[in-house]
Homo-oligomer: A and B are copies of this chain.
Amino acid sequence: MTDTGPIAILAGSGQLPIQLVEHLERTGQECRVLAFRGFAAPELRRRAQANVDLLDLKTIMATLEAWKPRAVALVGAVRRPGFSALLGAYSLLRNRQEVKEVITRGDDQVLRGAVMLLEERGFRVVGAHELAPGLVAPLTLSGRHRPTEDDRHSVTFGIDLLSSLSAFDIGQAAVVARRHVLAVEGPEGTDRMLRRVSGFRQAWFGLRRRREGGVLIKAAKRGQDLRVDMPAIGPRTVAEAARAGLSGIAVGAGSTLILEQDRTMELADRLGLFLVAVTLPWMEGGHD
């Protein structure tokens, strides 16, 4: 391992890898991109030095060993592969029973397993928040709109809910309206969860119904390794939240990425949504 090599970006889907690469290039930091086929955005795949299948661990390792990076970041979303596919891929590197135990323990464990494998081979794994601190939600977000008392209750209730769910390795996000839970995020992701809320609200109340309120709460799980699958919101999240009739969004301060922060705040202001950062009881002191 060297202190002078490039930063290696293992890139999944979404805007985050693109923005991270742009940030590194703008600040003169050399980086190489290993894009996951079927996940990374086309524009990133064209720019990437390598395009590899997610489960092709041999090529991934060989590529990294050739690059000798000073740090590796796993950025952007990937879908959890099927159980047997995961088992097969990881078994090339590790004892089958050991692998089985890790991958039966939820998403976080699978990603933590990937980090462990990389660290065992001497790579230093870092999070997007360490490479580009400017992308992280600050302690205060100052949009034009403020949460009402009802909204603040929803946020507190939602944080309690996410805290309880952490033990089950789910629940990076939920939608709560006045202590009434409208949705808990599963593997489908935040955007689809919000579309689900839009869907049943339209079916119930009709399209022309005025805004019914409610809050999207998005936060890192208790004990979550922020180097993998760090929660993120962006302009699309704001647009979907507005479509679902919500009154605002609360994110974990210091532990949530805000993509295109200016556009995100502007859109929230324009669509009438508040956007606040809350300190998570389980993250205190847990982030830099």
User: Are B204 and A79 closer than 8 Å at their CB atoms?
Assistant: yes
User: Are A82 and B186 closer than 8 Å at their CB atoms?
Assistant: no
Q: Taking A186-B184, A186-B196, A200-B188 as contacts, is the C-beta distance between A179 and B106 under 8 angstroms? A: yes
User: Are A200 and B184 closer than 8 Å at their CB atoms?
Assistant: no
Q: Mark A153-168, 1 if CB is under 8 A from B, else 0.
A: 0000100110011011
Select the residue from A106, A157, A160, A168 with max chain B CB neighbours within 10 A.
Answer: A168
A-side binding surface: helix, strand, loop or mixed?
mixed
Interface check A183, CB cutoff 8 A: yes
Closest residue on chain B to residue A168 by CB atoms: B161
User: Are A106 and B164 closer than 8 Å at their CB atoms?
Assistant: no
Interface check A182, CB cutoff 8 A: yes
Q: Separation in Å of the A38 CB from the closest CB of chain B?
A: 10
Interface check A145, CB cutoff 8 A: no
Number of interface residues of A (CB under 8 A): 37
Considering the complex, which residues of chain A in the window 247-280 have a beta carbon less than 8 Å from any beta carbon of chain B? none
User: Are B157 and A164 closer than 8 Å at their CB atoms?
Assistant: no
Q: Taking A82-B212, A83-B212, A196-B188 as contacts, is the C-beta distance between A106 and B180 under 8 angstroms? A: yes
Considering the complex, which residues of chain A in the window 6-52 have a beta carbon less than 8 Å from any beta carbon of chain B? none
Select the residue from A164, A180, A209, A212 with max chain B CB neighbours within 10 A.
Answer: A180
A181 to B209 CA separation, bound complex (whole angstroms): 33
User: Are B170 and A181 closer than 8 Å at their CB atoms?
Assistant: yes
A-B contact pairs, 25 of them (CB 8 A): A79-B204, A80-B180, A82-B204, A82-B209, A82-B212, A83-B177, A83-B212, A83-B213, A104-B179, A104-B180, A106-B179, A106-B181, A164-B164, A164-B165, A165-B165, A169-B180, A170-B181, A170-B184, A181-B186, A182-B187, A184-B186, A187-B200, A188-B196, A188-B199, A196-B196
Known contacts A169-B179, A186-B196, A187-B200; 13 further A-B pairs (Cβ under 8 A)? A80-B180, A82-B204, A82-B212, A83-B177, A83-B178, A104-B150, A104-B180, A106-B180, A106-B181, A164-B165, A181-B186, A184-B184, A188-B196
Pairs of residues from A and B, 5 with the lowest C-beta to C-beta distance, nearest first: A184-B184, A170-B181, A104-B178, A183-B186, A164-B164
